[in-house]
Amino acid sequence: MEPELVLTRVFKAPRGPVFAAWTEPTQVAQWWGPNGFTNPVCELDVRPGGAIRIHMRGPDGTVYPMTGVYQEIVEPERLVFTSAALDESGKPLFDVLNTVAFVEHDGTTKLTVRARVVKSTAGAAPYLAGMEAGWTQSLERLGVHLAGTADREIVATRVVDAPREHVFEMFTDRQHVARWWGPKGFTSTIDEMDVRPGGVWRFVMHGPDGIDYKNKIVYDEIARPERLVYTHTGGAQFQATATFTSYGEKTVLAMRMLFGSSRERDRVVKKFGAIEGLSQTLDRLEVYVGESRCS
- pLDDT tens column, 66-109: 999 999 999 999 999 999 988 888 888 889 999 999 999 999 99
How far is residue 63 CA from its own chain's centroid?
Answer: 18
Residues 196 and 167 in one domain: yes
Residues 136, 169 within the same domain: no
Ramachandran angles phi, psi of 234, nearest 5°? 105, -140
Domain limit, last residue, from 147, 179, 212: 147
- Work out the pLDDT band at 202, boundaries 50, 70, 90: very high
Least confident of 140-144, 200-204, 234-238: 234-238
Long-range pairs for 48-54: beta carbons < 8 A, 24 or more residues apart: 48/72, 48/73, 52/81, 52/83, 54/28
Distance CA 56, CA 34 (A): 9
Pair 141, 163 in one domain: no
Amino acid at 234: G
d(CA 204, CA 20): 46
Pick the more confident residue, 279 or 88: 279
- For residues 196-213, give the mean pLDDT: 96
CA 284 – CA 214 distance, rounded (Å):
20
Distance CA 38, CA 95 (A): 22
Query: 282: closest CA among 248, 247, 249, 251?
Result: 251
By three-state DSSP, how is residue 21 classified?
A: helix
Residues 206 and 273 in one domain: yes
Whether 39 and 165 map to the same domain: the answer is no
* Total residues found in the chain within this entry: 295
Confidence band (pLDDT; 50, 70, 90) for 295?
A: low
Give which of 46, 234, 43, 31 is closest to 144, Cα–Cα: 31
Q: Are residues 110 and 163 in the same domain?
A: no
How confident is the prediction for the chain on average, in pLDDT? 92
- 82 and 184 housed in the same domain: no
Q: What is the mean pLDDT of residues 168-195?
A: 96
pLDDT band (50, 70, 90) for residue 248: confident
Q: What is the CATH number of the domain that holds 77?
A: 3.30.530.20
Mark which of 101, 132, 147 sits at the end of a domain.
147
Residue 234, pLDDT > 70, answer yes
pLDDT in tens, 31-79: 999 888 999 999 999 999 999 999 999 888 989 999 999 999 999 999 9
Same domain, 175 and 267: yes
pLDDT value of position 1: 45
Q: What angle do CA 28, 31, 33 make, to 5 degrees?
A: 100
Beta-strand ranges (E) seen in 94-186 are 94-105, 108-120, 153-160
Write the pLDDT tens digit of every residue in 283-294.
999 999 988 876
Residue 30 is predicted with a pLDDT of 93
Q: Are 230 and 217 in contact (CB under 8 A)?
A: yes
Boundary-marking domain end, from 91, 117, 147? 147
Q: Domain tally for the chain? A: 2
pTM of the model as a whole:
0.69
pLDDT at 194 over 50: yes
Q: Which of 50-64, 197-211, 247-261 has the lowest mean pLDDT?
A: 247-261
Q: What is the pLDDT of residue 240?
A: 96
Q: Residues 129, 155: one domain?
A: no
Q: Please check whether residues 160 and 112 belong to one and the same domain.
A: no
The stretch 232-256 carries a mean pLDDT of: 88
